[in-house]
C-alpha cells in the first residue's frame, strides 16, 4: 500500500542535503568545539558559521542564540529561566500565558505555579484562537514577570500577532516569549522587527534533525541557566555542543528559506482545497482555528459524533498518517485543552482531526484523502450509533 504522510506538524523528514552537511561532523570533523587544537577549532568554526547563518535568516542582530535540545527545552529555558531571574530582580511573581499553548509552555508554567509559587493566569482567546488584546492589556501590571503566547499554533494553525503583543508588553516593561516552533517552518521571522525578548524554534519541524533547537534571547534579557556546567552557549546552557545537529539545523533553515514563498503558495492552494473539500463532503463538521491567520500547511477540524482517535486509526489503516488533537487515554479520552479554550464543547472536541501538509504532499494525495474521508466518517458514526463505541 502507498502510504501518504499528512502529519508535518508532528515532524518532518531530514532533507538529504541537510544530512550531507551533517555527516562530516560525525566523522573526520568530530572535534569538541571547546578543545584548543585544530580538531576543536574546526568544530568551533562550524558552529560559529551556523550561528551566523541562523542569526542572518532571523535578522537576529542584538540577540543571543542559545542552542538547545529542541522546542521543549527552549520553552522550558525561556519560561523557567526568565521567570525565576525576573522575580529575583523585580519581585514580579505572575505569569501570563495564552490558553492555547503547547504543553512545553503550559506544563512549565504549571510547574512554576505548583513548585515555585508563581501565579499563572491564562489569557482568553477568541473562538479562533486569537488573543483578546483588551483582556491582555487589563492583565498586564508590575506583578507580571513574563508573558508567553504561541506564534503559529500546532493544533489549530492560528497565527497570533506577536509583534503587537510584544509591543503591548514592552509598554509596561514586561518580558515576552513566543513559541515559534511551528511558525519558523513557514514564516519569515524578523526578530528585530518583532522585538520579542525570547523565541523558541526546533529543527525537526523544518526538515532538520530531531533533538536540536534554538532559544533566541535578546541581549541583556534576564535568564537563569537551567543546565549548569561548562561555559558553552555563553554559559546559558552547558554541555558539549551537538556540532552535526547545529550544522544541520542551519542548513535546513537555509534550504527552506530558498523556497519559502513559492512553497507557501503551493501549500496554501492544497490546504484550501483540502479544507473546502472536507467541509463540503462531510456533514456535521467544522474547521477549527482561524481561516485567514493560519499556517500555510495546516488544516484542522472537529466532527460531531465520533472519536478523533478512532478516526486517526481508521485513516492510518487506509494509508493516511494524520493526527488528532485529543490525548489518547485508554477508556477515558480527554478533549484537547486548546479546543476547549476555543469554546468548543467537550464532546465535539473529542472528534478532532489535524491534517498538516509539507514537501512531499501533492494534489493527488489530497484527492485521494477527500475520496475516502466521507465514507470513513460515515462508518465510524454508524458504528458508534450501533453502540459499538470504542
- Stretch of 121-129, 135-143, 189-197, 202-210 contacting ligand PLP, by CB under 6 A: 202-210
> Which residues fall within 8 angstroms of residue 209, CB to CB, at 6 or more apart?
14, 18, 22, 203, 244, 245, 248, 249
* Catalytic status, residue 169: no
- CA neighbor of 285 nearest in space, from 300, 302, 299, 273: 302
What letter would DSSP give residue 121?
Answer: E
Interaction of residue 104 with ligand PLP, rule CB under 6 A: yes
d(CA 164, CA 130): 12
Given 327, 328, 345, 371, the catalytic residue: 328
Q: Candidates 66-74, 112-120, 293-301, 339-347 — which segment interacts with ligand PLP by CB under 6 A?
A: 66-74
CB of 355 to ligand PLP, least distance (A): 15
Among 369, 375, 303, residue whose Cα is nearest residue 339:
303
Q: C-alpha angle with apex 285: 297 to 99, nearest 5 degrees?
A: 65
> Is 202 a binder of ligand PLP (CB under 6 A)?
yes
Q: Are 168 and 194 in contact (CB under 8 A)?
A: no
Q: Which of 51, 87, 94, 102 binds ligand PLP (CB under 6 A)?
A: 102
Find the shortest distance in angstroms from Cβ 383 to ligand PLP: 32
Distances from the Cα of 15 to the Cα of 209, 212, 249, 264, 340, angstroms: 9, 15, 10, 17, 36
Point out which span in 51-59, 114-122, 176-184, 284-292 binds ligand PLP (CB under 6 A).
176-184
**Minimum CB–partner distance for residue 307 and ligand PLP (Å):** 23
Answer yes or no whether residue 154 interacts with ligand PLP by CB under 6 A: yes
Q: For residue 192, what is the DSSP state?
A: H
Q: Does 182 bind ligand PLP (CB under 6 A)?
A: yes
Nearer residue to ligand PLP within complex by CB, 75 or 290: 75
Q: How many CB atoms lie within 10 A of CB 346?
A: 12
Which CB sits closer to ligand PLP, 154 or 326? 154
Q: Which of 31, 33, 209, 213 binds ligand PLP (CB under 6 A)?
A: 213
Q: Which residue is nearest to ligand PLP (CB)?
A: 71
CA torsion 36-41-45-46 (nearest 10°) is -110
Active site residues: 328
Question: Can you give the binding site for ligand PLP, defined by CB under 6 A?
Answer: 70-72, 75, 102, 104, 150, 154, 179, 181-182, 202, 204-205, 213
Amino acid at each position: 500500500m502507498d502510504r501518504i504522510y499528512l502529519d508535518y506538524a508532528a515532524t518532518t523528514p531530514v532533507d538529504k542535503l541537510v544530512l550531507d552537511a551533517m555527516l562530516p561532523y560525525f566523522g573526520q570533523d568530530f572535534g569538541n568545539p571547546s578543545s584548543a587544537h585544530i580538531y576543536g577549532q574546526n568544530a568551533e568554526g562550524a558552529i560559529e558559521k551556523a550561528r551566523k547563518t541562523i542569526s542572518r535568516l532571523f535578522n537576529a542582530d542584538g540577540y543571543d542564540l542559545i542552542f538547545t535540545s529542541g522546542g521543549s527545552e527552549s520553552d522550558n529555558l525561556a519560561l523557567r529561566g526568565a521567570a525565576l531571574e525576573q522575580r529575583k530582580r523585580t519581585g514580579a511573581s505572575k505569569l501570563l500565558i495564552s490558553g492555547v499553548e503547547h504543553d512545553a509552555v503550559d506544563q512549565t508554567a504549571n510547574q512554576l505555579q505548583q513548585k515555585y509559587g508563581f501565579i499563572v493566569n491564562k489569557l482568553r482567546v477568541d473562538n479562533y484562537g486569537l488573543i483578546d488584546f483588551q483582556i491582555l492589556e487589563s492583565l498586564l501590571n508590575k506583578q507580571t514577570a513574563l508573558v508567553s503566547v504561541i506564534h503559529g499554533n500546532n493544533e489549530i494553525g492560528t497565527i497570533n500577532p506577536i509583534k503587537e503583543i510584544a509591543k503591548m508588553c514592552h509598554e509596561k516593561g514586561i518580558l515576552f516569549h513566543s513559541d515559534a516552533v511551528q511558525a519558523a517552518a513557514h514564516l519569515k521571522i524578523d526578530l528585530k522587527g518583532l522585538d520579542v525578548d525570547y523565541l523558541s524554534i526546533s529543527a525537526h519541524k523544518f526538515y532538520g534533525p530531531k533533538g536540536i533547537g534554538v532559544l533566541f534571547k535578546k541581549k541583556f534579557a534576564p535568564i537563569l541557566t537551567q543546565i549548569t556546567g561548562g561555559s558553552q552557549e555563553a554559559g546559558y546552557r552547558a554541555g558539549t555542543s551537538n556540532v552535526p545537529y547545529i550544522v544541520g539545523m542551519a542548513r535546513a533553515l537555509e534550504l527552506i528559506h530558498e523556497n519559502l514563498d513559492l512553497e507557501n503558495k503551493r501549500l496554501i492552494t492544497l490546504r484550501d482545497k483540502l479544507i473546502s473539500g472536507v467541509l463540503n463532503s462531510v456533514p456535521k463538521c467544522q474547521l477549527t482555528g482561524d481561516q485567514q491567520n493560519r499556517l500555510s500547511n495546516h488544516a484542522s477540524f472537529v466532527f460531531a459524533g465520533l472519536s478523533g482517535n478512532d478516526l486517526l486509526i481508521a485513516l492510518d489503516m487506509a494509508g493516511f498518517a494524520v493526527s488528532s488533537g485529543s490525548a489518547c487515554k485508554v477508556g477515558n479520552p480527554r478533549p484537547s485543552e486548546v479546543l476547549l479554550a476555543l469554546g468548543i464543547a467537550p464532546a465535539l472536541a473529542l472528534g478532532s482531526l489535524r491534517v498538516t501538509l509539507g514537501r512531499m504532499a501533492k494534489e493527488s494525495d489530497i484527492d485521494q484523502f477527500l475520496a475516502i474521508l466521507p465514507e470513513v466518517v460515515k462508518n465510524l458514526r454508524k458504528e458508534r450509533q450501533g453502540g459499538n463505541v470504542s
